[in-house]
A and B are shown apart, each in its own frame.
Chain A
Amino acid sequence: MRWLPLAMFAALAVLLAAGVWLSRRPDRDVLPSTLIGKPAPTFSLPVLHEPGRLVSLADLKGAPFVLNVWGSWCPTCREEHPVLTRFAETKRVRVIGLDWKDDPADAQRWLEQFGNPYWMVLTDQDGGTVIDFGVAAAPETFLVDGNGIVRWKKAGAMTDATIRDELLPALVQLERGR
């Protein structure tokens, strides 16, 4: 009985250590993705550079594509931009931009200023499609396979390491699976 306080202290210390251990990931604030392995939400969105033209998920099916949610108002997207550009220039897969709640003029100016890495840019001005994708903050990037199934997602800015260690292996894996 006299060991009880020590035992309680040890139990609390273990609990504390477990809490610290479980929160060791630097991206622990990122929400777990619920979309992986599920069909991407359907959408029909105007193209930034041709406002009259609508593109839907069905139009993009047939081959995998990367969907990058960004906005000209988003400083982290600017940080990610060179990384995305380097990746897009390899022409490994279609990289589609999803311009989120943005003034089309601002978005076009941003792309002219920094360069347009995208194969195509869609715009979601009321933010509905972006919410369907479960996006909390820009930038967020999805890998969607040819059947419209989401295979991979990254919340926050991608780095060259993210692309090398996560996106490319996921792409190789889904190409092998087809």
Chain B
Amino acid sequence: MIRWLCVLLLACASTLALAQVSDPAPLRFNDRAEEQRFHALVTELRCVMCQNQSLADSNAMVAHDMRREVLAWMRQGKTDAQIQDALVARYGEFVLYKPRIEEKTWLLWFGPALLLLAGGFVVARVVRRHAGDKTIPADDQQEW
């Protein structure tokens, strides 16, 4: 009895999952390679409407259209870089999840390395200063 109930529930659950696919015109891919390339591309693009979702995840109307546009551009033979450029020309750098390395983004890309270097420098200085004395520092009022 319980087993049949489980089967029934599972069947219901799967129909619910189907009902959630709300794209009015789902994209059709010619082959597996095209689908993979498309997914690689759209997961790296940001939805401009709901700005914390990728273009791949978003269900916003404009995201449907942008996905369709991306696929159309792919079929026109544009390269990934050309497609990204086309979207950047329309919506700005913001659409790229991974900012490009250019003068404006140097601090963003290399800032963490700079911080690491600075931290390493400080640690090296502290270690060198204490390298000689093996005694416990007299200044033990410090609590940190």
Chain A interface (Cβ within 8 Å of chain B)? 2, 5, 29, 31-35, 101, 126-128, 130-137
Residues of chain B with a CB closer than 8 A to A132's CB: 90
Question: Shortest distance in angstroms between A132's beta carbon and chain B's nearest beta carbon?
Answer: 7
Interface size class of B (residues with CB under 8 A): 10 to 19
1/0 per position for B40-82, CB-CB distance to A under 8 A? 0000000011010000000001100110110000000000000
Shortest distance from the beta carbon of A103 to any chain B beta carbon, whole Å: 12
Pick the contact of A31: B61, B92, B142, B144 (CB < 8 A).
B92
Interface pair B49/A136, CB less than 8 Å apart? yes
Main secondary structure of the interface of A (DSSP, over half): loop
B65 pairs with A34, CB closer than 8 A: no
In the assembled complex, 25 residue pairs joining A and B whose CB atoms fall closer than 8 Å, in A order, are: A2-B142, A5-B144, A29-B51, A31-B48, A31-B92, A31-B94, A33-B92, A34-B89, A34-B90, A34-B91, A34-B92, A101-B61, A101-B65, A126-B68, A127-B61, A127-B62, A130-B62, A130-B65, A131-B62, A131-B69, A131-B90, A134-B92, A136-B62, A136-B91, A137-B49
Least CB distance, A99 to chain B, in whole angstroms: 14
Q: Which has the most chain A C-beta neighbours within 10 Å: B88, B90, B92? A: B90
- Bound together, the chains give a CA A27 to CA B142 distance in angstroms of 47
Closest CB in chain B relative to A71 CB, distance in Å? 9
- B interface residues, Cβ below 8 angstroms from A: 48-49, 51, 61-62, 65-66, 68-69, 88-92, 94, 142, 144
Interface of B is mostly: helix
Q: Considering the chains assembled together, what is the distance between the CA atoms of A130 and B48 in angstroms? A: 13
Q: Which residues of A contact B142 (CB under 8 A)?
A: 2
With the chains together, A130 CA to B49 CA distance in Å? 13
By a CB distance below 8 angstroms, the chain B residues around A33 are 92
Complex formed: what's the CA distance from A34 to B144 in Å?
Answer: 50
Nearest chain A residue, comparing its CB with the CB of B47: A136
Chain B residues, CB < 8 A from A134: 90-92
A133 near B65 with CB under 8 A, answer no
* A-B contact sample (14 more), CB < 8 A, given A35-B90, A126-B65: A5-B144, A31-B91, A33-B92, A34-B89, A34-B90, A101-B65, A127-B61, A127-B62, A130-B62, A131-B62, A131-B90, A135-B62, A137-B48, A137-B62
